[in-house]
Amino acid sequence: MADPNDVAGTKLLRQELSKRGLDTTRADMRVTHGVAYIRGSVGTIKGGPQDVRAELEIIAKVLRSRPQIKDVIIDCTMRS
């Protein structure tokens, strides 16, 4: 059974990515044992931010400040 903190953390991760105008249709995002993983391919939606890497770093900083998230691992390719 999934840890409730990991489920809440995954929901938070997905919310942060969608708020920033990032296309995550080709990405795998999950939280396991308090560590957030962003894998796959992340891009921008039309009218979204120009610098995907900078947006992901901002998201990582925001997530690390949350009690459900201990660390953030970004292992993805960035599409513009």
pLDDT tens for 63-80 read: 999 998 999 999 999 887
What are the beta bridge partners of residue 43?
23
Maximum distance among all Cα pairs of the chain, rounded to whole angstroms: 39
Six token digits for residue 69: 């998230």
Contacts of 46 (CB under 8 A, 6+ apart): none
- Fold of the domain spanning 4-78: Alpha-Beta Plaits (3.30.70)
Mean pLDDT, the chain, rounded, equals 91
* 38 in Cβ contact with 76 (< 8 Å): yes
pTM of this prediction?
0.88
pLDDT at 18: 87
3-state helix, strand, coil in the chain (%, to 5): 35, 35, 30
